[in-house]
């Protein structure tokens, strides 16, 4: 067991160092896939072993690991403070300095250093490790050819890839540490480590806009870090323990402890980019696509929802729980609305991520076994589908030089393979029988007893349909029969195909995932769950899956006839010229026609909505913290 944990956390660190120190690209091309493979295998092995009781590693060269983590913690805060000075950002300096002071007080005055087990893992942790290690690794592998052509586009004199892969791979180790940590101080260290990695990755290209957005990400997440420290102190003050397992088994406690928990949830909110903190994740779009994919699917934002979900037993049945549900539902609705007004593919993906994270947090706040099941389902399936979509956009962008969905109209003609995968990805985000929809369905059933949450979910869910359907349909198009398909490099093709197959096949495994992974960890699996699942019927719908699957096969068989049919041109009101895409205009001149999506920007435009969304989001967040008191 200890070996597996070491592999999962320390191997990425070593691999990252290897990428950084040995700058040759051949080394990267060897180290990254091998590390990915080992991580994936280790995560599966850990799953096979099952949950880990709270456990501490021994000492390293006679030094206790607790001490090493403490030292690293202050070092990391020092580095962040240094960047705060370098960027001349007062907020970063302020938040980091406050963290250093408070952490020093906490570590040296408050905490009585009794041995606290550093690691523990229940099924939630194991699921997270799987997501991080498998999806994260695939993204890192995808990044190898991607970054090569990315730098060719930029005409860099000196490659920055060693640094890039250093932080990319390191991120995986930090995330694994985060989800496996039992000692709150360790959790905090890994939490900060992910903040720093994401900051470095967002600012990677070094352009003015990249630096600006990286700075914003850093100050927002530093605020989260500060909230975490305060929360940690309040909780310790009330319960006298650093062990997460002990805190959770204690259940909801007095007002001060609950406020502490609320502060830690606030830290989760900033990391998961909930409104009003969504700005940093949108800004993070300037980073190279693998970074976006990593931040949005298997790391960073998932750390945020993980913390909120992890703490759910500690606020169950309190006002805090209800307010968390409302905050999450509001984010779900607001960001789905904002996504409609966008034509930038990456921005749509970003808003949809935040929206889905809101849904997960709303489920954590609803805090019933059904809702928690929905939350875990959403985490899993969102990670797969969203990473797939980001990688598709990255591939498309390198080919057509744009990430605007208007430029992707009829892309099937040019990039049939990528378009097909992207359309599949869109469908897995949107429709039954795929997992994301199952999660949404469970969330709606779970929220039926909570009037404001259900209204926001109903509206948000409809908004979601618009932006996905529009995009998926737009990618479809005509294509000359017998034209060769586009060719993709192996290391790009492989992650795309694996993720695509994974997104489809995993959905069919939903009942297995539920039975073996989720059900055992839900507290009080009794009649409540059985009734909940029974009314849901989610796990007895194999018949439906088979029917829909068979239907799709029929549809595709029918679609194969298309090349044999007589070719027709689109309808132009009888004014076709015989030229594809143009009609007979004034003076008998050919006029190219154009059609664009309706973005409903007078209602859903970013500049119209953002201010109000932020104000409401901030008010709700304050309400949430107040809900603890």
Under the binding rule (CB under 8 A), the answer on residue 437 touching other proteins is yes
Stretches 95-103, 300-308, 441-449, 494-502: which one binds other proteins (CB under 8 A)?
Answer: 441-449
Question: 235 vs 405, which CB is nearer to other proteins?
Answer: 405
- Say how far apart CA 436 and CA 429 lie, in whole Å: 6
Shortest reach from residue 568's CB to other proteins, in Å: 5
Q: Which is nearer to other proteins, 365 or 439 (CB)?
A: 439
When the beta carbons of 153 and 564 are compared against other proteins, the nearer one is: 564
- Residue given tokens 């194991």 in the structure block: 126
CA distance 388 to 385: 5
Residue 371 CA to its chain's centroid (Å):
19
Residue count, binding to other proteins (CB under 8 A):
67
- Backbone dihedral angles phi then psi of residue 592, each to the nearest 5 degrees: -75, 135
DSSP letters for 350-409: HHHHHHHHHHHHHHHHH-SHHHHHHHHHHHHHHHHHHHHHHHHHHHHHHHHS--BTTTTT
Judged by CB under 8 A, does residue 479 bind other proteins?
yes
Based on the shown chain and the rule CB under 8 A, indicate whether residue 585 belongs to the binding site for other proteins: no
Residue 575 interacts with other proteins (CB under 8 A)?
Answer: no
With CB under 8 A as the contact rule, which of the stretches 110-118, 207-215, 261-269, 559-567 interacts with other proteins? 559-567
Asked if 547 is part of the footprint of other proteins (rule: CB under 8 A), the reply reads yes
Strand pairing report for 119-121 and 63-64: unpaired
Q: Which residue has the tokens 């985490």?
A: 379
Cβ atoms of residues 529 and 370 within 8 Å: yes
Give Cα separations from 6 to 38, 58, 75, 173 (angstroms).
12, 12, 22, 10
**Rounded Cα–Cα distance for residues 99 and 148 (Å):** 38
Per rule CB under 8 A, is residue 612 in the interface with other proteins? no
Piece of 7-15, 381-389, 447-455, 510-518 that binds other proteins (CB under 8 A) = 447-455
Question: What whole-number distance in Å separates Cα of residue 330 and Cα of residue 99?
Answer: 29
478 contacts other proteins (rule: CB under 8 A): yes
Which residue in 145, 307, 305 sits closest to 232, CA to CA? Answer: 307
List the one residue out of 398, 201, 225 whose CA is nearest residue 294: 201
SS (H, E, C) 109-126: HHCCCCCCCCEEECHHHH
Question: Coil, helix or strand for 410?
Answer: coil
Instruction: Identify which range of 67-75, 118-126, 303-311, 573-581 contacts other proteins by CB under 8 A.
Output: 573-581
* 123 vs 464 by CB, closer to other proteins: 464
Identified binder of other proteins from the candidate list 548, 577, 623, 625, rule CB under 8 A: 548
Let me know the angle formed at the C-alpha of 58 by 54 and 62, rounded to the nearest 5 degrees.
150
592 binds other proteins (CB under 8 A): no
Closest CA to 120 of 397, 331, 310, 336: 310
Comparing CB distances to other proteins, the nearer of 254 and 594 is 594
What is the phi/psi pair of residue 190, to 5°?
A: -65, -35
Is residue 192 at the binding interface for other proteins, with CB under 8 A as the rule? no
Residue 54 interacts with other proteins (CB under 8 A): yes or no: no
Residue 26 interacts with other proteins (CB under 8 A): yes or no: no
Q: Which is nearer to other proteins, 128 or 436 (CB)?
A: 436
Check residue 508 for interaction with other proteins (CB under 8 A): no
Q: With binding defined as CB under 8 A, does residue 563 bind other proteins? A: yes
Tell whether residue 591 is a contact of other proteins (CB under 8 A): no
Q: What angle do CA 281, 283, 285 make, to 5 degrees?
A: 85
Nearer to other proteins, 469 or 494 (CB): 469
Q: Which two tokens stand for residue 344?
A: 């930038």
Q: What is the DSSP letter of 569?
A: P
Using CA atoms, how far apart are residues 28 and 13, in angstroms rounded to an integer? Answer: 14
Identify whether the C-beta of residue 488 lies closer than 8 Å to the C-beta of residue 443: no
Tell me whether the omega of the peptide bond preceding residue 418 falls within 30 degrees of 0, making it cis.
no
581 belongs to the binding site for other proteins (CB under 8 A): yes
Check binding of 432 to other proteins (CB under 8 A).
Answer: yes
Q: Residue 158 interacts with other proteins (CB under 8 A)? A: no
User: Which CB sits closer to other proteins, 417 or 470?
Assistant: 470
Instruction: Compute the least distance from the CB of residue 569 to other proteins, in Å.
Output: 8
Widest CA span in the chain: 89
Q: Is 381 in the site for other proteins (CB under 8 A)?
A: no
Q: Which of 80, 430, 517, 624 binds other proteins (CB under 8 A)?
A: 430
**Which residue from 560, 578, 587, 588 is in contact with other proteins, where contact means CB under 8 A?**
560
The DSSP call for residue 107 is I
What contacts 29, CB < 8 A, 6 or more positions away? 144
Show the binding pattern over residues 453-472: x = contacts other proteins (CB under 8 A), - = does not. Answer: -xx-xxx-xxx-xx-xxx-x
Among residues 10, 79, 104, 552, the one that binds other proteins under rule CB under 8 A = 552
Out of 78, 206, 537, 626, name the contact with other proteins by CB under 8 A: 537
Q: What is the C-alpha to C-alpha distance for residues 506 and 502, in angstroms, rounded to an integer?
A: 6
- Tell the smallest beta-carbon distance from residue 12 to other proteins (Å): 39
**Which of residues 556, 587, 588, 607 is near other proteins by CB under 8 A?**
556
Smallest separation, CB 274 to other proteins (Å): 22
> 159-178 in b/e burial notation, b at 16+ Cβ within 10 A?
eebbebbbbbbbbbbbbbbb
The CB-of-443 to other proteins minimum distance in angstroms stands at: 10
Shortest distance in whole angstroms from residue 152 CB to other proteins = 33
Residues 397-426 that bind other proteins (CB under 8 A): 410, 412
Select the residue interacting with other proteins from 476, 522, 577, 623 (CB under 8 A).
476
160 vs 479, which CB is nearer to other proteins?
A: 479
Rounded Cα gap, residues 402 and 409, in angstroms: 12
* Among 504, 363, 501, CA closest to 445: 363
Per CB under 8 A, the segment of 98-106, 289-297, 379-387, 430-438 that binds other proteins is 430-438
Residues 26, 109, 558, 587: which binds other proteins (CB under 8 A)?
558
546 part of the interface to other proteins, by CB under 8 A: no
Can you give the binding site for other proteins, defined by CB under 8 A?
410, 412, 430-432, 437, 441, 444-445, 448, 451, 454-455, 457-459, 461-463, 465-466, 468-470, 472-474, 476-479, 535-537, 541, 544, 547-548, 551-552, 554-556, 558-563, 565-566, 568-573, 580-581, 593-595, 597-598, 600, 602-603
């Amino acid at each position: 067991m200890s070996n597996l944990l070491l592999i999962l956390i320390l191997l990425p660190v070593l691999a990252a160092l290897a990428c950084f120190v040995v700058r040759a690209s051949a080394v990267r091309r060897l180290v990254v896939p091998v590390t990915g493979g080992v991580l994936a295998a280790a995560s599966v092995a850990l799953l096979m072993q099952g949950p880990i009781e709270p456990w501490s590693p021994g000492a390293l060269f006679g030094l206790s690991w607790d001490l090493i983590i403490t030292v690293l913690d202050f070092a990391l805060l020092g580095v962040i403070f240094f960047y705060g000075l370098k960027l001349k950002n007062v907020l970063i300096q302020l938040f980091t300095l406050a963290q250093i002071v408070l952490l020093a007080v906490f570590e040296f005055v408050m905490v009585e250093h009794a041995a606290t087990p550093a690691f523990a893992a229940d099924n939630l942790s194991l699921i997270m490790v799987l997501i991080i290690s498998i999806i994260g690794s695939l993204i890192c592998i995808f990044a190898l050819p991607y970054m090569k052509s990315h730098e060719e586009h930029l005409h860099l004199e000196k490659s920055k890839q060693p640094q890039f892969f250093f932080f990319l791979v390191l991120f995986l180790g930090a995330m694994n540490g985060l989800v496996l940590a039992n000692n709150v101080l360790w959790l905090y260290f890994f939490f900060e480590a992910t903040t720093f990695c994401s900051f470095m990755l967002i600012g990677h290209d070094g352009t003015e806009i990249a630096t600006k957005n990286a700075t914003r990400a850093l100050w927002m997440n530093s605020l989260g870090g500060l909230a975490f420290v305060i929360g940690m102190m309040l909780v310790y003050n009330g319960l006298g323990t650093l062990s997460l397992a002990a805190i959770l088994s204690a259940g909801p406690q007095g007002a001060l402890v609950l406020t502490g928990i609320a502060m830690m949830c606030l830290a989760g909110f900033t990391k998961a980019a909930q409104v009003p903190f969504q700005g940093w994740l949108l800004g993070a779009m300037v980073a190279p696509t693998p970074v976006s994919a990593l931040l949005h699917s298997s790391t960073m934002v998932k750390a945020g929802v993980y913390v909120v979900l992890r703490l759910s037993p500690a606020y169950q049945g309190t006002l805090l729980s209800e307010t968390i549900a409302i905050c999450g539902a509001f984010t779900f609705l607001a960001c789905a609305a904002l996504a409609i007004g966008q034509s930038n593919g990456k921005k749509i993906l970003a808003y949809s991520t935040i929206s889905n994270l809101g849904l997960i947090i709303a489920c954590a706040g609803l805090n019933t076994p059904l809702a928690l099941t929905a939350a875990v389902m959403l985490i899993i399936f969102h990670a797969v589908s969203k990473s797939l979509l980001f990688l598709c956009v990255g591939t498309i962008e390198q080919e057509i030089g744009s990430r605007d969905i208007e430029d992707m109209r009829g892309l099937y003609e040019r990039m049939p393979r990528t378009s097909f995968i992207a359309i599949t990805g869109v469908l897995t985000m949107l429709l039954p029988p795929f997992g994301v929809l199952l999660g949404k369905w469970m969330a709606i059933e779970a929220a039926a007893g909570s009037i404001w949450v259900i209204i926001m979910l109903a509206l948000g869910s409809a908004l979601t349909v618009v932006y996905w359907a529009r995009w998926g349909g737009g990618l479809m198009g005509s294509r000359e029969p017998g034209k060769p398909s586009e060719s993709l490099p192996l290391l790009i093709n492989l992650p795309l195909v694996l993720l695509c197959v994974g997104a489809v096949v995993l959905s069919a495994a939903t009942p297995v995932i539920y039975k073996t992974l989720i059900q055992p960890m839900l507290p009080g699996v009794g009649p409540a769950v059985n009734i909940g699942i029974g009314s849901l019927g989610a796990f007895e719908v194999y018949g439906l899956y088979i029917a829909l699957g068979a239907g799709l096969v029929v549809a595709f068989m029918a679609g194969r006839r298309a090349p044999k049919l007589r070719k027709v041109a689109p309808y132009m009101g009888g004014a076709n010229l015989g030229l594809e895409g143009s009609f007979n205009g004034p003076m008998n001149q050919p006029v190219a026609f154009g059609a664009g999506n309706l973005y409903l920007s007078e209602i859903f435009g970013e500049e119209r909505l953002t201010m109000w969304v932020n104000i409401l989001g901030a008010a709700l967040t304050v309400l949430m913290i107040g809900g603890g008191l």
